Amino acid sequence: MRRSTLILVALITLTLFGIVAARETSRAQFIRLQALQNKIFTLNNQWGQLQLEQATLASDPRVGDIAHRKLGLEAPKNSQIVMVKAQ
């Protein structure tokens, strides 16, 4: 009877160590999950800012203004327009 009691105590102890290890693993994974969710939130914010910036930089009035000021481009006059017939 003494031997079976020792085996039972050993099994219970091993089970308790397993439970503690599982909790620690679960806690570590939850912390990692929270960190990744924060990273996703940050990246989504950055993506939104980049989309807004791209839309601002590519706006027609801005592109036209830069083409006129920096490149000296202007809309052609009617006399400079050539119509090409489709064949």
Q: With bands split at pLDDT 50, 70 and 90, how would you rate the model's confidence at 75?
A: confident
In a domain? residue 72: no
Residue 75 in any domain: the answer is no
Q: Give the whole-angstrom CA distance, residue 7 versus residue 3.
A: 6
pLDDT digits (tens, 9 = 90+) for 27-72: 999 999 999 999 999 999 999 999 999 999 999 999 989 999 999 9
- 87 pLDDT higher than 90: no
* Burial (0-12, 13-18, 19+ Cβ within 10 Å), 87: exposed
Q: Is residue 53 part of a domain?
A: yes
Number of domains, the chain: 1
* Residue 13 located in a structural domain: yes
User: Is 65 a domain residue?
Assistant: no
Q: Is 66 within a domain?
A: no
Residue 43 sits in which domain range?
2-59
Is 67 among the domain residues? Answer: no
Helix/strand/coil for 21 = helix
Task: Provide the whole-model pTM.
Answer: 0.61
Report the C-alpha dihedral over residues 77, 79, 80, 85, rounded to 10 degrees. 120
Question: Is 81 part of any domain?
Answer: no
Q: Indicate whether 1 pLDDT > 80.
A: no
